């Protein structure tokens, strides 16, 4: 069979959704590693696989329709996040106007939680949660003309209404999955301004996070996995890890393929020194620039030293706030002193630090607490700060609280870009206040002459500078 993994163009007033983190519009392009793992699996089964990203190609509706008219795919796959629901539903209609027999498969958190928005016909199916094994069985059934409507892990249209089949057990051995099919995206250029070097890619070494922050949606795969698992088990799914040997083998392959930069997209990359050391060793061996996400309390003196010696170019720390009362309310499992300690250790060993601050995570938040947090971030003199506004994502504890207490503008969740807008209204902090504070804080932090000069000195070419400047402009002004 011919199978295409598709990112359609945006249309009308919409902006392009970022589909890996899954909660913002595109600031800079990054490969969707989750989708590429599924593509590699399907390709292993002997099918002809294509990958088209009309956003990266900067092609619009006319080119998309031309492509559909000439294409012969039997199945189209979408990785759907909340912000892409409308776009993907529109694209599915466009496909079926040209090819009524094509099967359209939606994966990702948007599809997992909002199946009714995407099941437009009996030729549409949702693969919920962790997708690989379900996709394998679904594609095999379609190829051989077998019944697929009884498969675990899917939602489909039965007599005009969504039918949710039982969930599929989580994958027990992640090492059995193939490495992502990066050759499918060789004609696309990706850039991470925190790493600056190219070619750049992403790597996933684990799935989910064991902590219980009430608002958290750390990645689109995690969110899809968590939504589906919680629906039947009433709790978060366990964390799954690839073996160190498997991770090292992928890095060796990436080095052989010429990759110079890797962003690890694990929800929580730094788990232990024992796991970290062999990964850092192979990264250092190949002089790969890299970065990751971690908790501040995972940073010990020895871990900070290992990171510094191995070429780590950034560590994203989820700070959210420096107010201990707020940190306790959101069940962060951290104190402000632990955050300060982690930052200082990273700075001591010359590891660039990025802080993730989240405005409005609790009704305890005020303009004063937000200002205190942003002021503290500036005082700490870290390399970067990302300031977002919390969203009440369906399926989270925060959504339940916001819904019960009437904190959501309009009464219920609608997809919103957390880097630009808010749909929250607290009694003492409105959505307009949060949006205004967000933009003011970004301008205050990023337009400091000292910070601008620090980053300018790190660029080695106009191309590197151009990529970073475009991301900066989008972040500040949308």
> Strand, coil or helix: what is 475?
helix
Per-residue pLDDT tens over the stretch 368-392: 999 999 899 889 989 889 899 999 9
Of 127-131, 214-218, 265-269, 294-298, give the lowest mean pLDDT range. 214-218
Neighbours of 460 (CB within 10 A): 9
Of 143, 176, 146, 172, the residue nearest 37 (C-alpha)? 176
CA dihedral sign of residues 293, 298, 303, 304: positive
Per-residue pLDDT tens over the stretch 238-249: 999 999 999 999
Cβ distance 404 to 410 under 8 Å? Answer: no
Per-residue pLDDT at 15: 83
Which tokens sit at 180? 């992502």
Neighbours of 238 (CB within 10 A): 11
pTM of the model: 0.92
Q: For the chain, what are the domain ranges?
A: 2-164, 187-477
Per-residue pLDDT at 23: 80
Per-residue pLDDT at 13: 67
Q: 124-127 and 75-79 as β-strands: parallel, antiparallel, unpaired?
A: unpaired
Per-residue pLDDT at 297: 96
Position 470 confidence tier, pLDDT thresholds 50, 70, 90: low
CATH architecture of 2-164: 3-Layer(aba) Sandwich (3.40)
User: Average of pLDDT values for 91-96?
Assistant: 97
Specify the DSSP class assigned to residue 315: E
Contacts of 41 (CB under 8 A, 6+ apart): 132, 135, 136, 177, 178
Helices 244-256 and 273-285 meet at what angle, rounded to 10?
20
Q: Which CATH number fits domain 187-477: 3.30.70.120, 3.30.70.1400, 3.80.30.20, 3.30.420.40?
A: 3.80.30.20
Contacts of 183 (CB under 8 A, 6+ apart): none
Which tokens sit at 333? 């499992």
Specify the DSSP class assigned to residue 447: T
Per-residue pLDDT tens over the stretch 128-138: 999 999 999 99
Long-range contacts of 225-228 (CB under 8 A, 24+ apart): 225/129, 225/130, 225/170, 226/395, 227/109, 227/112, 227/113, 227/128, 227/129, 227/394, 227/395, 228/112, 228/128, 228/129, 228/130, 228/153, 228/167
């Amino acid at each position: 069979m011919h199978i295409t993994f598709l990112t359609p163009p945006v249309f009308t007033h919409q902006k392009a959704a970022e589909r890996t983190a899954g909660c913002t519009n595109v600031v800079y392009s990054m490969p969707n590693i989750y989708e590429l793992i599924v593509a590699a699996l399907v390709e292993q089964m002997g099918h002809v696989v294509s990958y088209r990203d009309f956003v990266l190609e900067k092609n619009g509706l006319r080119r998309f329709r031309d492509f559909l008219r000439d294409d012969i795919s039997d199945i189209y796959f979408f990785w759907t996040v909340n912000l892409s629901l409308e776009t993907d539903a529109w694209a599915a209609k466009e496909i079926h106007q040209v090819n009524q027999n094509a099967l359209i498969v939606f994966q990702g958190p948007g599809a997992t939680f909002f199946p009714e928005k995407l099941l437009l016909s009996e030729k549409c199916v949702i693969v919920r949660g962790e997708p690989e094994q379900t996709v394998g069985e679904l594609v095999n059934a379609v190829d051989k003309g077998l019944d697929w409507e009884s498969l675990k892990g899917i939602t489909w249209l039965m007599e005009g209404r969504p039918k949710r089949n039982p969930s599929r057990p989580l994958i027990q051995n992640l090492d059995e999955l193939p490495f992502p099919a990066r050759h499918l995206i060789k004609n696309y250029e990706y850039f991470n301004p925190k790493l600056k070097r190219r070619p750049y890619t992403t790597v996933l070494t684990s799935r989910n996070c064991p902590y219980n922050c009430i608002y958290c949606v750390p990645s689109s795969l995690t969110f899809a996995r968590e939504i589906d698992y919680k629906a039947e088990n009433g709790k978060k799914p366990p964390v799954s890890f690839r073996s160190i040997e498997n991770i090292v083998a992928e890095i060796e392959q990436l080095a052989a393929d010429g990759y110079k930069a890797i962003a690890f997209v694990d929800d929580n990359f730094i788990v232990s020194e024992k796991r970290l050391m062999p990964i850092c060793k192979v990264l250092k061996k190949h002089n790969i620039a890299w970065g990751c996400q971690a908790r501040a309390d995972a940073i010990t003196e020895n871990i900070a030293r290992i990171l510094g010696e191995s070429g780590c170019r950034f560590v994203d720390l989820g700070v959210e706030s420096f107010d201990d009362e707020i940190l306790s309310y959101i069940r962060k499992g951290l104190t402000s002193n632990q955050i300060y300690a982690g930052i200082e250790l990273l700075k001591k060993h010359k590891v660039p630090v990025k802080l993730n601050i989240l405005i409005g995570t609790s009704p305890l938040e005020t303009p004063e607490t937000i200002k205190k947090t942003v002021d503290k971030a500036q005082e700490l003199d870290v390399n970067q700060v990302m300031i977002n506004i919390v969203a009440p994502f369906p399926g989270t504890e925060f959504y339940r609280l916001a819904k019960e207490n009437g904190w959501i503008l309009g009464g219920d969740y609608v997809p919103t870009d957390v880097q630009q807008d808010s749909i929250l209204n607290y009694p003492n902090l409105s959505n307009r206040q949060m949006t205004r504070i967000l933009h003011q804080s970004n301008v205050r932090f990023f337009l400091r002459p000292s910070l601008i000069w620090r980053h300018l000195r790190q660029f080695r070419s106009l191309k590197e500078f151009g990529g970073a400047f475009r991301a900066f402009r989008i972040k500040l002004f949308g």
